[in-house]
Amino acid sequence: MDENRKRRLQVLGEMVDNHCWDNREEIAASDQCLCTGCGLWLDPTEIVRWHEGKHACCPECGLAGAVVGSKSGIPLDEYRSYMEIE
Q: Applying CB under 5 A, which residues contact Zn ion?
A: 35, 37-38, 58, 60-61
For the bound state, the minimum distance from the C-beta of residue 39 to Zn ion, rounded and expressed in Å, comes to 7
Report strand pairing: 67-69 vs 55-56: unpaired
Least CB distance to Zn ion at residue 14 (A): 20
Residue type, 79: Y
H helix or E strand, kind and range, residue 84: helix 76-85
Q: Which residue, 46 or 60, is less far from Zn ion as judged by CB? A: 60
Nearer to Zn ion, 5 or 32 (CB): 32
**58: DSSP letter:** -
